[in-house]
Amino acid sequence: MEYSDKQLQIMEAAEFLFAENGFHGTSVRDIADKANINLAMVSYYFGSKEKLLEAIFSYRGESIKLKLESILQQQGMSSLEKVYLLVDHYIDKIMNRQHFHRILAREQVLNNSGPITDLILDMKRRNLEIISRLIHEGQEKGEFRKGIDIPMMMSVMVGTASNLITSKQYYKVLSNLEALPEEQFQQYIRDTLSKHLKFLFKTILTHEV
């Protein structure tokens, strides 16, 4: 699906507001104001507020697969190094798309069924498939141990990263980092998270339980 500049302008405004105040906490009028467009344009372009959210999901969900595939096909690299690449790629993605990941974090908590739930499941399925292939490659090479609960491993990665980023305002206070400028704080989170996740994954993948 292709989107015009005007549509992207609306989607970005909506993404910001949904992340900040939630879907139901954001009115179409809020979006129109933020995007500097007329109220009616949301319905005109997307049909409804709900479908606007779906558009955001499908737009942000698209660009995932490619980069992961390319990581998998790297030559002359151990499976663990590839896992490290994957971790950094995931952190990059979530850090660069913090608005969207706030929305995602909120939406996946809801017990709904519908297009959004399906899109989330698709995203998770795609991610799981890629990671599974990587883990199995490592197992066949004897690098990783057998009997790894891969969905659980994903929960550790996604959950830890998500928790840290979506509630970083709390992390900032609790770690006494309030003096740190926002940019440095972001870099700090990025580095600390990367280091910890790599350490955890190395342990999960190579040590026996």
Partner DNA sequence: TTAATTCAAACAAACGTTTAATTAAATTTT
Partner DNA sequence: AAAATTTAATTAAACGTTTGTTTGAATTAA
Q: Choose between 6 and 133: whose C-beta lies nearer to DNA.
A: 6
* Cα–Cα distance measured from residue 70 to residue 91, given in angstroms and rounded to the nearest whole number: 17
Give me the least distance between CB of 80 and its own copies, in Å please: 15
Q: Which two tokens stand for residue 180?
A: 């740190």
Give me the least distance between CB of 21 and DNA, in Å please: 10
* Cα–Cα distance measured from residue 62 to residue 58, given in angstroms and rounded to the nearest whole number: 6
Q: Is the distance from CB of 122 to CB of 129 less than 8 angstroms?
A: no
Give me the least distance between CB of 49 and DNA, in Å please: 4
Map tokens 């109220």 to a residue. 39
Binding site partner of 133, from its own copies, DNA, none, Cβ cut-off 5-8 A by kind: none
**Among residues 7, 9, 108, 186, which is the contact residue for its own copies, using CB under 8 A?**
108
Q: Report which DSSP code applies to 110.
A: S
Q: Could you give the 3-state DSSP secondary structure of residue 178?
A: coil
Give me the least distance between CB of 37 and DNA, in Å please: 5
Q: Choose between 3 and 97: whose C-beta lies nearer to its own copies.
A: 97
Interior CA angle at 127 toward 52 and 205, to 5°? 150
Residue closest to 194 by CA, chosen among 93, 72, 64, 79: 93
Give me the least distance between CB of 55 and DNA, in Å please: 12
Q: Which two tokens stand for residue 195?
A: 């280091």
* Cα–Cα distance measured from residue 1 to residue 11, given in angstroms and rounded to the nearest whole number: 14
Residue closest to 100 by CA, chosen among 148, 49, 62: 62
Binding site partner of 39, from DNA, its own copies, none, Cβ cut-off 5-8 A by kind: DNA
Residues that bind DNA (CB under 7 A): 4, 6, 26-30, 37-44, 47-50
Q: Which residues inside 113-172 make contact with its own copies, applying CB under 8 A?
A: 120-121, 124-125, 128, 149, 151-152, 155-156, 158-164, 166-167, 169-171
Contacts to its own copies by CB under 8 A = 19-25, 102, 105-106, 108-112, 120-121, 124-125, 128, 149, 151-152, 155-156, 158-164, 166-167, 169-171, 173-175, 192-193, 195-196, 199-200, 203-204, 207, 209
